[in-house]
Structure 1
Amino acid sequence: MLFMYFQTQMSLLRDWNPSMVWNTAVTVFAACTFNFGPHALTLPHLDFGRFNPDRGGHLILWDLKLVIRFPPGSTILIPSAIIRHSNVPIAADEFRCSFVQYTAGGLFRFIRNGFKTDDAFELTATREEKSERAEEAKTRWAKGVAMYSTLDSLKRS
């Protein structure tokens, strides 16, 4: 469900501005970052390199109190704006780099605002639109969390 949401939003953005240049046509994310190391510490990412994943490179999700072994070639999808995260350093003689894909929350707000900033939306929205936005805000968090897959939903697939 989350993938479909991202796909729909990026399609709306493409339709709004067809001349926009995209990093790649095969992703639902609007932006990417390459971290070429040699000791990259990054946001959610795809790791590759020469390091011992038992000694370093673990992903730390602070709010969940988790330290996850994260070997080369691993990937993860986390809501990085709401879960504090970091990585365990690797040894000085080891190598690690990463590729991160993401879409800033402000871009989703821009699309939801009818391709306007929050300030422009507030200046032009009717009282009814502002009321609808306030009602939507009450359930936005729960609806967002519900888009993530669970083990049970993956088993049913």
Structure 2
Amino acid sequence: MVLFARPCGADWLSNAVRVDSALENLSRLARIPQSQKPNRRGSYVTLPAGCGFGGGRTCPGSYANTAHNAPLVQAILDRPDVQRVARYVDAGLQAYFPKLHSFYSSLLEHILADSPEIVRMFQGCCYGACHLNLHNASTVDHEDWYNILFGMCAVYSSGLYDHTRSGHFIAWSLGIVAQFPPACAVYVPSACVTHANTPIASHETRSSIAFFMSAGLARWYHNGYISDKEFKERASVAQLNAWNASRAKLWEVGLELLQYT
């Protein structure tokens, strides 16, 4: 299921212009090794922020950037206009999927309490992490495997492009193609729905902020703040059977969290 949040008003549009400018400036200032271009989602620059668990980590932690890029990313996160976008996507998730929003909020609070070295990405936002996709962000067909399977990622689109001719959002698994105007957000189950964007013209710019919650954080918390590997090594037969049974019924948990009431 794909939902668009479509704000309006001069104040929001003014906020969007400031976000556009900030992301374009980050695109000019960031230094990206050639080995990181392109990424698996497309031939654009992307920088991570927030926290997650997986990909060889031994415990949850903040996503890393280079010494040059880290302060640039933090400066983006500290901007009031970008923080307003974070609160906007948080409010949208709460409005459409209140149970999932409560789950995300509780999970993030528990992770941050257990790992005080992790700095919260945004106040007033239930998402644990985001990717800053810069300048010409048009994605190829992909799924985001490391995100919570039944979760809804939020993608805020930014830039100067003709949304009637380019930058469309495609949810291949659902058979949906939709216009995706700047200063709007889409909510999509990105781990299980193949999705992409149509390219923009060479004279256009398009950035995005993709908010997500790492599935590894949910597993870490569910295991009692240890990894799957460590849990299975420590668990009794009864505990392991219960663990496997809970995993087999995870889809039921997901369906319940996606219901409005």
Structure 1 length normalisation: TM-score?
A: 0.87
- Give 1:145's aligned amino acid: L
Cα distance in 1 for residues equivalent to 2:181 and 2:259: 22
Pairwise CA distance, 1:149: 4.5
Matched residue, 1:41: 138
Structure 1 residue ranges without an equivalent (≥5):
none
Matched residue, 1:69: 179
> Are 2:102 and 1:7 aligned?
no
Cα distance in 2 for residues equivalent to 1:146 and 1:78: 17
- Post-superposition Cα deviations, 1:82-124, rounded to whole Å, max 9, x if no partner, equal 1111001111111111111111111211111111111001001
Matched residue, 2:255: 145
Alignment of 1:88-99 (within 5 A): 88-99=198-209
- Give 1:15's aligned amino acid: A
Alignment of 1:63-142 (within 5 A): 63-142=173-252
Given that residues 138 and 200 in structure 2 are in contact (C-alpha distance below 8 angstroms), is that contact kept between their aligned partners in structure 1? no
- Post-superposition Cα deviations, 1:135-156, rounded to whole Å, max 9, x if no partner, equal 2123211221231255xx5xxx
Matched residue, 2:120: 22
Given that residues 111 and 217 in structure 2 are in contact (C-alpha distance below 8 angstroms), is that contact kept between their aligned partners in structure 1? no
Q: Secondary structure at the match of 1:19?
A: coil
Q: Secondary structure at the match of 2:162?
A: coil
State the 4+ residue runs in structure 1 displaced beyond 4 angstroms. Answer: none
Cα distance in 1 for residues equivalent to 2:258 and 2:166: 28
Q: How many aligned positions are there?
A: 150
Cα distance in 2 for residues equivalent to 1:112 and 1:103: 15
Q: Percent of aligned pairs with the same residue?
A: 27
Given that residues 132 and 208 in structure 2 are in contact (C-alpha distance below 8 angstroms), is that contact kept between their aligned partners in structure 1? yes
- Give 1:86's aligned amino acid: A
Instruction: Supply the RMSD in Å over aligned alpha carbons.
Output: 1.6
Name which of 31, 53, 57 aligns with 2:167: 57
Q: Secondary structure at the match of 2:165?
A: coil
Structure 2 residue ranges without an equivalent (≥5):
1-98, 145-153
Q: Secondary structure at the match of 1:98?
A: strand
